[in-house]
């Protein structure tokens, strides 16, 4: 493949942006090589500035569940844009989308739209602290909840990709209010509540970890965390920015029969446009201004373009749920298991974790049940695999610690081509 134009664009970008990127993992530092610059996308494919086509397995990090430039979404955005890109005032479309979300998430009795997942989790934490009068928050190693100060402790995702334990610029006074525990170890949660009685405001978790690679909850773990938070008067915040509407129509809450106090959503809810949601039980949400003392605001919250894209996306998922989720399950299973078979045939240690249309191939022979297990993966081997796949027109997430995603636009031919590319990449 020729990459001359992308290389020139990267050189220019490095004069404008730190590392030449506006989000660190895009720099490809974890996998090596130069990142292609995307010019456009359609369905399951990305096209770069040099005219190369790639089968896309990160889907803008999750939201492109129906494929890129899905016609109903494009048409909805175009219609909304003709009326103005922003009003800074209320619109009917906000309520329309909220009703669709609530129909899929019974735990969300009230909600607020924001502009990013980081805003959603940050606001949910503030609300939990106000509701409980407590300061401490429990999170889990390898789980990423955005780049708010207190949530960057052992945060996985890009932080793990670059081998950073937290982040410079986060005061110790704030970091000390966050307890980072190993995922899938219920005894660690019990010990935290015993050590800090009446001090923990909330437990926040990814129900399926996606930011240390895909890590699935063990049997009874999520229900156990829910029971402990209820017993100790702490709120349970389920961060479904990644899993929401992807692992099921009602997300992980539906898949695992969870009834959290607060939920955060993003990505798919805006059809690929910048959006986030935090919501939950009415008794907590009604503490937000203007009804209560917890302040949260945003000029672009409920942006009409994002609402239009979200209505088209969530509406389609609701109306075609059986067909969509059956296809996602079959296609993601075929590609994840197909590549795993190729690795087994090549005698390369590989562990595959998958929930619905999100998965990770970990270059390790043992099970991966938490971040410590994931960190034992052979990241150099993953980097070689990533580069070899990219050279064959298959674009995977550029980090061992990121989940892969698939859309309804991926065809059987795309999956067969991906497995064939993996065979060659693994033997290279």
Q: What pLDDT does residue 428 have?
A: 79
State residue 273's pLDDT score: 96
The structural domains of the chain, with segments of one domain joined by +, span 4-69+320-427, 71-319
Confidence band of 171 (pLDDT split at 50, 70, 90): confident
> Between the CA of residue 188 and those of 114, 180, 184, 220, what are the distances in Å?
32, 10, 9, 14
- Res. 162: pLDDT tops 60: no
Q: What is the pLDDT of residues 185-234, one digit of tens each?
A: 999 999 999 999 999 999 999 999 999 999 999 999 999 999 999 999 99
CB 243 within 8 A of CB 236: no
Q: What is the structure's pLDDT at 156?
A: 46
Structure confidence by residue, pLDDT tens digits, 47-71 = 999 999 999 999 999 999 999 999 9
Q: Which pLDDT score, from 0 to 100, does residue 166 have? A: 59
Residues annotated catalytic, as ranges: 144, 239, 267
Q: Bridge-partner residues for 216, per DSSP?
A: none
Phi, psi of 48 (to 5 degrees): -95, 180
The structural architecture, per CATH, of the domain 4-69+320-427 is Alpha-Beta Complex (3.90)
The topology under which CATH files domain 71-319 is 3.40.640
**Model pLDDT, residue 160:** 46
Q: What is the pLDDT of residue 153?
A: 66
Q: Do domains 4-69+320-427 and 71-319 have the same CATH topology?
A: no
pTM of the model: 0.94
With the C-alpha atoms ordered 214, 220, 226, 228, is the resulting torsion angle positive or negative?
negative
What's the pLDDT band for 167 if we cut at 50, 70, 90?
Answer: low
Backbone angles phi, psi at 73, to 5 degrees: -70, -45
Residue 24 is predicted with a pLDDT of 87
Asked if 189 and 224 count as a contact pair (C-beta separation under 8 A), the reply is yes
Residues above pLDDT 90, as percent of the chain:
89
- Parallel, antiparallel or unpaired: strands 136-140 and 38-42: unpaired
């Amino acid at each position: 493949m020729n990459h001359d134009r992308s290389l020139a664009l990267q050189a220019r970008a490095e004069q404008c942006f730190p590392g030449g990127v506006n989000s660190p993992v895009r720099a490809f530092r974890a996998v090596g090589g130069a990142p292609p610059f995307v010019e456009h996308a359609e369905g399951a494919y990305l096209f770069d500035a040099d005219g190369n086509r790639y089968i896309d397995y990160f889907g803008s990090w999750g939201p492109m569940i129906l494929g890129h430039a899905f016609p109903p979404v494009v048409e909805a955005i175009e219609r909304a844009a003709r009326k103005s890109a922003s009003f800074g005032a209320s619109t009917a479309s906000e309520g329309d989308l909220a009703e669709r979300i609530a129909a899929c998430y019974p735990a969300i009795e009230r909600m607020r739209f924001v502009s990013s997942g980081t805003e959603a989790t940050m606001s949910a934490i503030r609300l939990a602290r106000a509701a409980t009068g407590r300061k401490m928050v429990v999170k889990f190693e390898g789980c990423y909840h955005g780049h708010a100060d207190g949530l960057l402790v052992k945060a996985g995702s890009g932080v793990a990709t670059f081998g950073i334990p937290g982040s410079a610029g986060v005061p110790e006074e704030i970091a000390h209010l966050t307890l980072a525990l190993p995922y899938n170890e219920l005894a660690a949660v019990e010990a935290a509540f015993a050590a800090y009685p009446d001090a923990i405001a909330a437990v926040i978790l990814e129900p399926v970890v996606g930011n240390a690679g895909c890590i699935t909850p063990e049997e009874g773990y999520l229900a156990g965390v829910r029971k402990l938070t209820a017993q100790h008067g702490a709120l349970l915040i389920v961060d479904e920015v990644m899993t929401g509407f992807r692992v099921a129509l009602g997300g992980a809450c539906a898949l695992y029969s969870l009834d959290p106090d607060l939920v955060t959503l993003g990505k798919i809810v805006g059809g690929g446009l910048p959006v986030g949601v935090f919501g939950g039980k009415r008794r907590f949400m009604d503490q937000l201004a203007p009804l209560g003392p917890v302040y949260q605001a945003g000029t672009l919250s409920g942006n009409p373009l994002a609402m239009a894209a979200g209505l088209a996306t969530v509406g389609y998922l609701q109306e075609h749920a059986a067909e969509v989720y059956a296809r996602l399950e079959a296609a993601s299973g075929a590609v994840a298991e197909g590549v795993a078979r190729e690795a087994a045939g090549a005698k390369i240690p590989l562990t595959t974790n998958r929930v619905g249309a999100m998965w990770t191939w970990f270059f390790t022979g043992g099970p991966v049940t938490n971040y410590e297990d994931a960190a034992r993966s052979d990241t150099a081997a993953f980097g070689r695999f990533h580069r070899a796949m990219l050279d064959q027109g298959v674009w995977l997430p550029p980090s061992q610690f990121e989940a892969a995603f698939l859309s309804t636009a991926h065809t059987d031919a795309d999956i067969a081509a991906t497995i064939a590319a993996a065979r060659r990449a693994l033997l290279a």
